Amino acid sequence: MLQGVAAGAGAAFGLSLVPERLLASPVSNSNPKRVIFFMQNQGFDPKTCIPEGMTGSSSLANAKLPEPISALEPFKERLHIINGLHGIHTSPSHSAFFGALGGYRGSDGVPPSASTIDYELSKVLPPTLLPHLCIGMDSIENMTTKPTIATLSASGAGQPIFMHSNPNHLYQMLFGGISTGDIRLQHEAKSNLLNQIEMLAAANGQSLPSAERLRYSQYVQGFSDLNGLRNRLDTVSDHLRKFAPVVDERYTKPKFETDWHDILLDLGISALTSGITNTLTIGSGRGEIFGAWKGLGVEQQGHNLGHMDQPDNPIWIKIRQYNSRMLVRIMEALESIPEGSGSMMDHTLIVYTSNNADKQHTNGANWPVMLLGNFDGAFKTGCFTQLDGKRPINSLYATILRAAGQNCDRFNMDDKLAKKFDDGTGPLKELLV
């Protein structure tokens, strides 16, 4: 029981969900930056995002976006489509798993070999109460039976970060302290229980053998982190009330899995707009080969979707359009909140791609990416960039770190690996202003 609950709290194999980097308030007087990673499984075919007939780098101003991403047409001036990065060294096949955001070899069931870019950015960006939040979208059966799963993000070697997939659990963690009625009672009961378990676990673990004591202490730390987060969120309850989403029947009586997808996105947006977090990772398909979209009228699900060609496929058009509408919701929410001389969106970067490069059963030779937002003027927008396939996805991550203020020439790639997989060094100049 201790292992299961602590893992759900966000701690496993030495991971602490909430690093000890906190602000007294989730809002500061400066212009904090934030980054959102949206990872769709089963690959991202370039033909579903590159305007027809566009083969070389050029402006998007007079181009018409393909049908799968047509919802982004009004936001073309904020969009940067990138083609020609590679991830051959990640050996993606069905998925690169942790390697998609880590830029290293990943595989099913293999623990991460280093931290991922989203976690590293959460350390560089201005501190928040919960520096890094991961949410995962899947079939309703998987999200119910496995409310947390770790396949995409990591805080270090062998230290996975869990995605939250049950919106009821996530709402209680983020906003339980400001709720009323049954949700409030459940929040208080769970808080009291976890406090007691933490104290008992801390006391009783001393009798274990030394090898087990270390592993046991890691789960105890999970309870400590979760309990500490609850207490810190309680101190800013008045602020959080302005941003908490409305709880409706979709939480407890979802008709389709997309009901939970939608409210998970609402919770992620609320965490961003309230200032609880500055780094959000969204895993549609949760970094694996699963996923379902019956709410869109798509009966097929899971691995079978990866064996379908994506261009001109009505099923994949529906899924990609759904993703695009989600991206629009994020942008509109951030655009509506003033920050500095502009809005929150002016200081935000959204990275949309796949944990599986361009397609299912891929070798990773091409890894299309879309960027939305200019990250406080750092990135070019309103354009398409065609690269020559000699720079890895690691170079994109190094570029984002550089824009965030970290002096980084390479991300998770030593000189030996770079000689084989990277023809350059430093940030991708084609992307920066």
Region of 357 on the Ramachandran plot (φ > 0 left; ψ -120 to 50 alpha; else beta) = left
Q: Does residue 101 form part of some domain? A: yes
CATH number of the domain to which 150 belongs: 3.40.720.10
> Per-residue pLDDT for 79 more than 70?
yes
Structure tokens at 369: 């990416």
**Of 197 and 31, the one with more pLDDT:** 31
Average pLDDT in the 55-65 region?
97
Through-space distance between the first and last CA atoms of the chain, rounded to whole angstroms = 52
432 domain-assigned: no
- Is 50 exceeded by the pLDDT of residue 428? yes
Tokens of 395: 């170079």
Tokens of 94: 């069905």
195 within domain boundaries:
no
Question: pLDDT digits over 129-144, tens only?
Answer: 888 999 999 999 999 9
Based on the number of CB atoms within 10 Å of its own CB, is 302 exposed (0-12), middle (13-18) or buried (19 or more)? Answer: middle
Is 328 a domain residue?
yes
Mean pLDDT of 41-70: 97
Residue 199 counted as domain residue? no
Q: How many domains are contained in the chain?
A: 1
pLDDT band at 10; cut points 50, 70, 90: very low
Does residue 240 register a pLDDT over 50? yes
Position 188 scores a pLDDT of: 55
Average pLDDT along the chain: 87
Q: Is residue 238 part of a domain?
A: no
Long-range (24+ apart) CB contacts under 8 A made by 307-310 are 307/360, 309/45, 310/43, 310/45, 310/47, 310/48, 310/68, 310/359
Please tell me the predicted confidence (pLDDT) of residue 9.
Answer: 45
The verdict on residue 84 lying in a domain is: yes
Q: Rounded to whole angstroms, how far apart are CA atoms 49 and 76?
A: 12
Question: Is 147:138 a contact under the CB 8 Å cutoff?
Answer: no
Query: What proportion of the chain, given as a percentage, has pLDDT over 70?
Result: 81
User: In the block, which residue shows the tokens 């994109």?
Assistant: 396
Domain residues for the domain of 63 are: 30-170+250-421
